[in-house]
A and B are shown apart, each in its own frame.
Chain A
């Protein structure tokens, strides 16, 4: 960006995220729990849209975590050339090293490992999908993008406080929201600071719709008609009568 500024080169950036997955007790939270692991562990967590902070309304948090962990343990980690494989290795030894530093920090800070944390295979840059509980809001695993198979789950009591916690992040790329209350869905979707948000779904990238981030998640939009702005200059022509 600094280099581009010298001659005012136009840039468009799609960067990182620490996207929330918000689950209200009125939602089909069972379905949310079953589908949420792949919303963070897909591509072994190397996904800008990874829903890596899960906020669950306290009354359903315990059974949600139980189901989430059970679904995580069912994920098939292994040879990426096999059609049934859901999680392959991380992209490089360096990336796995970075993720393991985050896990070491979580251990030191006293987070609870509900599952994962280790290397499932001797060969290949594999790492188990890892579910962290009791992560503090100033821990690295809560604040920073890990870009690996690690998720933090936390209960919440109050909607307004939860939204403050969701937005207390330098990022604002994506997110999911689970509720069957239409007014709440509209209210929360409006309040979450992110470029993309899905309600009762984890689908956030559509060829036809704009994709990009608020805050430090980027500048400009990809996909949809909005992407055209990044590749064109707008010219105004005036013709006298």
Chain B
């Protein structure tokens, strides 16, 4: 198990613009176990700009069936890496390993749920008074930021992915690596699409 220590922005690993790093402490031993890049506003802007580019260049208009396939592939990757993600979670926040495994598999389960939701979440047709044809659309909001201070790993990202919203994730100061670790999984999506639409960094 190795510790991912850089920021994942625009589909690639990099150091923070400022070069600053912060030390991670294992709460069960009080010992430092690594140093990771500390992001600031410049890194956030880079991540948001990257997400916006990806959104406009195709993620937004990806066919529902393709989105569904990608989300299922993400869930499969997550399941393959549950042990690694759980161990990093335990190391960072002291969560007992059996709970950390449950949480990581809930993570995969939620991706599966939203993969299935892609072709079931729909609008309405409305018989408006003046006649004609009236219908509603659910359109993606665009780039979404998720602050995961207290949320189970990655839970908040999934509805966003479902709707093609690129995601900018800010893990809390104490639990960045499990999320980075997930970003490190080989991307199941078409290169340059999903990979670039996930921007992971750590703000302080």
Contact = CB atoms under 8 A, between A and B. Distances in A.
Interface of A: 10, 14, 42-44, 46, 48, 79-83, 85-93, 123-125, 205, 207-208, 222-223, 225, 227-228, 230-241
B61 interface: no
Contacts of A238: 128, 132-134
B187 interface: no
Contacts, number: 132
A231 B136 contact: no
Interface of B: 25, 27-30, 87, 90, 93-100, 106, 109-110, 112-113, 117, 121, 123, 126, 128, 131-141, 144, 150-152, 155-156, 159-160, 162-163, 165, 174
A14 B147 CA distance: 10
A156 to B, nearest CB: 30
A233 B29 contact: no
Contacts of B155: 222-223
B98 A83 contact: yes
- Find the residue from B94, B110, B126, B141 having the highest chain A CB count within 10 A: B94
A92 B163 contact: no
Contact of A91 (B94, B112, B152): B94
Contact of B90 (A80, A225, A237, A240): A80
Given A80-B28, A123-B29, A85 B134 contact: no
A125 B174 CA distance: 14
Nearest to B151: A14
17 contacts: A14-B151, A83-B97, A85-B96, A85-B97, A88-B94, A91-B27, A91-B174, A125-B28, A207-B113, A222-B155, A228-B121, A231-B144, A232-B163, A235-B136, A238-B133, A238-B134, A239-B132
